[in-house]
Copies of this chain bind each other. A is one copy, B any other.
Amino acid sequence: MPTPHEYAASQAMRFREQLKDFIRIPSISTLPEHTADVRRAAEWLADDMRRAGFQTVEILPTNGHPVVYGEWLGAGPDAPTVLVYGHYDVQPAVMSDGWESDPFEPVERDGRLYARGASDDKGQVFAQVKAVESVLAASGNCPVNLKFLIEGEEEVGSPNLAPFVSAHRDRLKADVCVVSDTGMRTPDQPVICYATRGLMYLEFEVTGPKQDLHSGTYGGMVHNPAQALAEIIAQLHHPDGSIAVPGFYDEVVPLRPDEREALGRSAMPDGFWQQSSGVPAFWGEADYALHERVGARPSLEINGMVSGFYGAGSKTVLPAKALAKISCRLVPNQDPHRIFERVRDTLMKLTPPTVRGEARLLAEAFPAVMDIRSPAMEAALTAYEKGWGKRPVFERGGGTLPILADFQRELGGLPILLMGFGLSDDGAHGPNERFSLEMFHKGIDTAIHFLHEAGK
């Protein structure tokens, strides 16, 4: 009888062809004309999960696209339960965006599979499903109970996921959650991201004159709203790069010295960031290394600004208003709504009586941090070590995964593992998205190892 790994190796070609079939369904969640395709992808995945050996597979409705939910509970009530999260929907893609081949007709080139969704997230979800198939096919059994929650709205911001998790709280109960929708920077060194930043996003509008004015007739007696906005924005940071919003850092949990040291050992060199960003010089809080500024410190960004005339040539308008999109990345234990209130109050306080200001909240998400010393994390480390031949290093991510805080809140603070097999240069959301076939097969192996390690 083959081991699960032998089974996976023998089925490698079939797994790839199946993944291509999955990818060929253009399950673009944001485009209404693809609603039937999204449904078709859910059904295709549910069918494959049934064939893989899941005991129950259901397509559960939400207020938007459905969730594919599969269970295998054969390990019994005393065995641990693993909840796996991923998504089967994809971003839009058209040839004119710069694709070299049809985004929905997967092509293998140089060991990579080129297609929309290859990496984000169909390839990763499918690696998890194929790991389960391999384990069940090889032994008829699995050391852990399994619950797969694969949603169809991740690319539109998961608007219905939190209510779904809340409504199915009891059914989703698990001992550990595996999120397979992230990645690592290089294929050689596995990385486990154990923290994500939260988000607070607002827009701030400064208004002055009742309409655009002639800069000749009024220039010098009216506070230009674009200038006023610039003056306000310029006061949001101290010269040292820290954020000049009273109380902003009050709830920030400092990095522990040991954590700091561990992160330092595995950090990418500054040259990596220099090359990938192309900036002439770095900026920010000098007391923190680059990876700490992004992973362990909150930030405040101007995501955009607009005011008056900005086309080619010159137009001597004195604009009636100016708008900025402003967002903060947050770290534990910052509360996005409290941060909104503090930033809003600061903006209003900085707004002089010569103009009017208004701040409007657009989005909020909590930061999340996972315990790196939990048994579940240890199982993941061992699984990666066996799958990759190398022990993973830890990192704190700078991005935001709102679902993590939702899962933690609704499911009793269960440990969450970000077990992603994408690469940072897979081009997710862009043209010519690709997924390394080596990552796909190593991912299956690692997921198999994890199911065994988690059951110990």
CA distance A224 to B84 in the complex (A): 36
Point out the residue from B215, B216, B304, B363 that lies within 8 Å of A317, measured CB to CB.
Answer: B304
Point out the residue from B214, B218, B224, B234 that lies within 8 Å of A231, measured CB to CB.
Answer: B234
Query: Chain B contacts of A329 at CB under 8 A?
Result: 215-216, 219-220
Q: Does residue A237 face the partner (Cβ distance < 8 Å to B)? A: yes
Query: Chain B contacts of A44 at CB under 8 A?
Result: none
Query: Chain B contacts of A279 at CB under 8 A?
Result: 208-209, 222-223, 354-355
Query: Chain B contacts of A325 at CB under 8 A?
Result: 308-310, 314-315
Q: Does residue A96 face the partner (Cβ distance < 8 Å to B)? A: no
Point out the residue from B233, B280, B322 that lies within 8 Å of A353, measured CB to CB.
Answer: B280
Find out whether the CB atom of A280 lies under 8 angstroms from the CB atom of B221. no
Most buried by B among A236, A316, A329: A316
The smallest beta-carbon distance between A286 and chain B, in angstroms, is: 11
Contact of A301 with B318 at beta-carbon distance under 8 Å, contacts A217-B398, A362-B313 already known: yes
Residues 68-107 of A at the B interface (beta carbon under 8 Å) = none
The smallest beta-carbon distance between A374 and chain B, in angstroms, is: 24
CA distance A329 to B211 in the complex (A): 20
Range for the number of chain A residues in contact with chain B: 35 or more
CA distance A329 to B310 in the complex (A): 19
Q: Does residue A290 face the partner (Cβ distance < 8 Å to B)? A: yes
Query: Chain B contacts of A273 at CB under 8 A?
Result: 218, 221
Mask for A285-318, Cβ within 8 A of B = 1, else 0?
A: 1000010011001110111111111100111111
Find out whether the CB atom of B220 lies under 8 angstroms from the CB atom of A398. yes
Find out whether the CB atom of B398 lies under 8 angstroms from the CB atom of A201. no
CA distance A354 to B362 in the complex (A): 29
Point out the residue from B219, B278, B322 that lies within 8 Å of A294, measured CB to CB.
Answer: B219
Find out whether the CB atom of B222 lies under 8 angstroms from the CB atom of A302. no
Find out whether the CB atom of B313 lies under 8 angstroms from the CB atom of A308. no
CA distance A107 to B154 in the complex (A): 59
Interface residues in chain A, defined as those with a beta carbon under 8 Å from any beta carbon in chain B: 197, 199, 201, 208-211, 213-224, 226-227, 229-231, 233-237, 241, 273, 277-285, 290, 293-294, 297-299, 301-310, 313-319, 322-325, 327, 329, 353-356, 362-363, 397-400
Closest 8 CB pairs of A and B: A210-B278, A216-B399, A304-B308, A223-B283, A234-B234, A230-B233, A226-B302, A220-B293
